Chains A and B, each alone.
Chain A
Amino acid sequence: MNAIECKNVLYRYPNTRKTSPPALRGVSLDVRQGEVLAMIGHTGSGKSTLAQHLNGLLKPVGGTVCVGGKDIWATKSAMREARFRVGLCFQYPEYQLFEETIAKDIAFGPKNMGLDPAEIDRRVRAAARYVGLTEEMLPRSPFDLSGGEKRRAAIAGVMAMEPEVLALDEPTAGLDPRGKERILQMILRYRAETRKPILLISHNMEDVARFADRVLVLNQGEAAMLGTVPEVFSRAEELTAMGLNVPSVTRIFLELRRRGLPVSAGIYSVEQGVAELLRLRALRKEGIHD
Chain B
Amino acid sequence: MIKDITIGQYYAGDSVLHRMDARMKLVLTLGYMVVIFLCKNFFALGLLALSVAVFVALSRVPLGMVLRSFRPIVVLVLFTSALNLFLTPGEGEPLWHWWKLQITTEGIHTAIFTTARILCLIAASSLLTYTTTPSLLTAGIERLLWPLGKLGVPVSVFAMMMTLALRFVPTLVEEIDRIMNAQKSRGANMDTGSLFQRIKAFVPVLVPLIVSAFRRAGELAYAMECRCYTGSNRRTSLKQFRLRARDYAAAALMLLLGGGIVTMNIFLGKII
Contacts and interface: CB of A to CB of B under 8 A. Distances in A.
B181 interface: yes
Nearest to A91: B178
Given A95-B212, A97-B208, A108-B204, A90 B185 contact: yes
Contact of A57 (B179, B185, B212): B185
A87 B211 CA distance: 24
A96 interface: yes
Interface in A28-63: 52, 55, 57
Interface residues of B, number: 20
B186 interface: yes
Contacts of A89: 185
A143 B211 CA distance: 9
Contacts of A113: 187
B212 A108 contact: no
B183 to A, nearest CB: 6
Contacts of A87: 185
A154 to B, nearest CB: 8
Q: Do most interface residues of chain A lie in helix, strand or loop, or is the interface mixed?
A: helix
B188 interface: yes
B207 interface: yes
Nearest to A111: B187
Nearest to A98: B207
Contacts of A171: none
B2 to A, nearest CB: 13
B85 to A, nearest CB: 38
Given A96-B186, A112-B187, A113-B187, 4 more contacts: A95-B182, A98-B204, A98-B207, A108-B187
Interface of B: 3, 175, 178-179, 181-189, 203-205, 207-208, 211-212
11 contacts: A15-B3, A80-B187, A89-B185, A90-B185, A95-B178, A95-B182, A98-B204, A98-B205, A98-B207, A158-B186, A161-B186
User: What are the 8 A-B residue pairs with the smallest beta carbon separation, nearest first?
Assistant: A112-B187, A98-B207, A109-B186, A96-B182, A88-B185, A90-B182, A98-B204, A98-B208
